[in-house]
Every structure is written in structure tokens, then in C-alpha cells.
Structure 1
Amino acid sequence: MLGENIKKLRKSKGLSQEELSIKLNVVRQTVSKWENGLSVPDSSMLISLAEELDTFVSELLGEPVTAPATDDLKTISEKLEVINLQLAKRSMTKVKTTRWVLILVCVLIVMVFVALAVINGSYLGWNYNNPELAVAGTILHGFEFVFVRVAPIAFLSSVVGIIMTYKKRYNSSLICE
């Protein structure tokens, strides 16, 4: 909701993301991330943002505008905390999905290597006078030739990616504490 409100108010003021970013001394991509819900401004930036858009922080956060309460800062920080927790949860879901995809890639590579080891180049002994066997054998040989050269790189890259997702999870858990 915060991102939608920022975008709606920015457009109603006739400002582009670039113009708003200049007024706030941030890069345009930061405004884009706010509007797309990929990040949230901190509390001081939220106040500056509300000032630039001639509105109240509570309106940015989706609350109806009422008389300012004495604990506005506490309410703002609670809402920002909820939004940050939602972003962290979304980020962890992406990390877990990426990790499982990389694990699947490693498993598939191992399975293909096992399959290639089982056939042990038996296609090399086929009768290549038969055109169908010649085509199939050539395709198998070409696949094996390319796979044996590319798969180790893909496997190592996937393992490094898996390790990085665990490091990211560890670092994220430190940040959340």
C-alpha cells in the first residue's frame, strides 16, 4: 500500500520518479523500489517524502488523515517494521526457491553423468550404415561431448550458489536479531 500511495501522490503532483528522487537526494531506482514495494524508506526519509508530496506520513502509510497524535512516530515505526518483516519474508522465500532450483540442477547433472556412465559410450559400437542409428549416435555423441565440458562448470556454479544462499540466510538472520 505504501508504494501505491507514493506513486499516486507523486503522479498527482506531476512529478516523475527522477524529479522526486532529486528533491529527496536519492537515485531514481530508490523511488522505483519504494513504488514497487521492493523496499521502504526509513522513518526520516518517510517524513521528507511526505513533505515533498505535501501530505501526512499517515496518509502515505494508508491511514485516514486525522489530527496528529502524540505517538505518530511510534505508529510509523511499527508500520515500517511490519513492512520490513514482509519484505524480509518475501526475500527469504526467493532465496529458498533459488536454493532448491540450484539443488535440482546439481541432482540432474549427477543423474545425467550416471546415465552416461551406464551407457559407457555403447553408441560408438552401433552400425552407422543405418541412417537412423547414425543420426541418433551422432546426437548422443555430440550431447555427451558438450555435456562433459559444460556440466562441471554448471555444477560448481550451482554449488557456489547454494552456499551463497545459506550465507545470505545466515546474514539475514543476524540482521533480524
Structure 2
Amino acid sequence: MLNENIKNLRKSKGISQEELAIKLNVVRQTVSKWENGLSVPDSSMLISLADALDTSVSELLGEVTIKHDADDIKAISEKLEIINLQLAQRSYARVKTIRWLLIALCLCIVVIFIALLAINGSYMNWDYHDPELAVAGTIIHGFEFLFVRIAPIVFLASIIGIVLTYKKR
């Protein structure tokens, strides 16, 4: 079937085997073998062959393409519109979720800053000869040290993220 389709399409376009071979960068005998059913083109050559014959690969392989009438096209366009609306709603929901997560992150940072202000470094006065207090005090101090340096950057980035999620589309 493929061999007949190649031959019929080539002849309907008024192209000789030699001309088709030149377009595809193959020898004329290769085109002849395809048309006589002695060999078949590989997948990449099949695409090039379809382009050279100004047709689709599916038509070249003998698949019948169905012409859609206006009602089918209208139904397909309505389905695509519904899908686009669903995608837009999903995208908006995702942006809204990100916005609320950023707001929650800002609130957490503020609460931790308030907690750190409330303890006012009281762990510095602990008796560090007690190993348990020494470990706890070191962990709290390390956390406070890192938090005070990193949290403002994260807070500002979160605020910028919140503002960007409110940006009009």
C-alpha cells in the first residue's frame, strides 16, 4: 500500500523518480525500490518523503483522513475553550496558594522575631557548666544567629512574592 501511495502521489505531482530522489538526497533506484515494494523508507526518510510530496505521513501510509465539518470544528473549539478556562482556574488557584504560603511565612518570621525579642538573650545567663544547658543554649544561640541574618532577606523576598501574585495579568 505504501509503495502504491508513493507512486500515485509522485505521479499526481508530476515528479519523476529522479527528481524525487534528488529532493531526498537518495539515488533513483531507492525510489524505484520503494515504489515496487522491495524496500520501505525509514521513519526520518518517511517524514522527508511526505514533505517532498506535499502530504502528511498518515496519508502516505494510507490512513484515511476525515474532513471535519463546521459542527465538528465548533464542538472541538468549545472543548478547547473549556480546557483553557480550567487551566486558567488551576493557574489562579496555584497563584493564590503560593500567595497564602508566602503570607504564612511572613507571619512565622514575625512571630519568631517577637519570641526572640521576648527571651531577650536570657539564655546567655545560663550556667554553661551544665552540659544539657550548654547544648540547649548553643543551639538557641546558633538559631538566633542564623535567623537574624537570613530572616530579613526571606521576609523581603516573601513580600515581593506577595506583591507579584497580586500583579494584574
The TM-score normalised by the length of structure 1 is 0.57
Looking at structure 1, the residues matched to 72 and 157 of structure 2 have their Cα atoms a distance apart, in angstroms, of: 48
Q: 1:146 to 1:53 in 2, by over 3 A?
A: farther
Task: Give 1:121's aligned residue.
Answer: 121
**Identity in percent:** 58
Instruction: Give the number of the structure whose alpha-carbon radius of gyration is greater.
Output: 2
Task: Give 1:136's aligned residue.
Answer: 136
| Equivalent pairs, count | 114
Looking at structure 1, the residues matched to 138 and 149 of structure 2 have their Cα atoms a distance apart, in angstroms, of: 17
Per-residue deviation, residues 112-164 of structure 1 (Å, max 9, x unmatched) = 00000000000001111111111111111111000000000010111111111
Aligned structure 1 segments of 4 or more residues deviating by more than 6 angstroms: none
Looking at structure 1, the residues matched to 57 and 102 of structure 2 have their Cα atoms a distance apart, in angstroms, of: 44
Find the residue that maps to 2:70 and give its secondary structure: coil
Per-residue deviation, residues 83-124 of structure 1 (Å, max 9, x unmatched) = 100110111111111111111110100000000000000000
Find the residue that maps to 1:71 and give its secondary structure: helix
Task: Give 1:37's aligned residue.
Answer: none
Looking at structure 2, the residues matched to 150 and 98 of structure 1 have their Cα atoms a distance apart, in angstroms, of: 20
Q: 1:52 to 1:144 in 2, by over 3 A?
A: farther
Q: 1:137 to 1:53 in 2, by over 3 A?
A: farther
Q: 1:72 to 1:164 in 2, by over 3 A?
A: same
Counterpart of 1:129, as a letter, is: H
Structure 1 residues 144-155: aligned runs within 5 Å:
144-155=144-155
Deviation at 1:53, TM superposition (A): 7.6
Q: Which moved more, 1:68-77 or 1:139-148?
A: 68-77
Looking at structure 2, the residues matched to 124 and 136 of structure 1 have their Cα atoms a distance apart, in angstroms, of: 11
Find the residue that maps to 1:127 and give its secondary structure: coil
Find the residue that maps to 2:68 and give its secondary structure: coil
Is 1:84 aligned to residue 84 of structure 2? yes
Structure 1 residue runs of 5 or longer lacking an equivalent are 1-14, 21-50, 56-64, 172-177
Is 1:106 aligned to residue 106 of structure 2? yes
Task: Give 1:165's aligned residue.
Answer: 165
Counterpart of 1:80, as a letter, is: L
Deviation at 1:54, TM superposition (A): 4.2
The TM-score normalised by the length of structure 2 is 0.60
Q: 1:99 to 1:53 in 2, by over 3 A?
A: farther
Counterpart of 1:114, as a letter, is: I
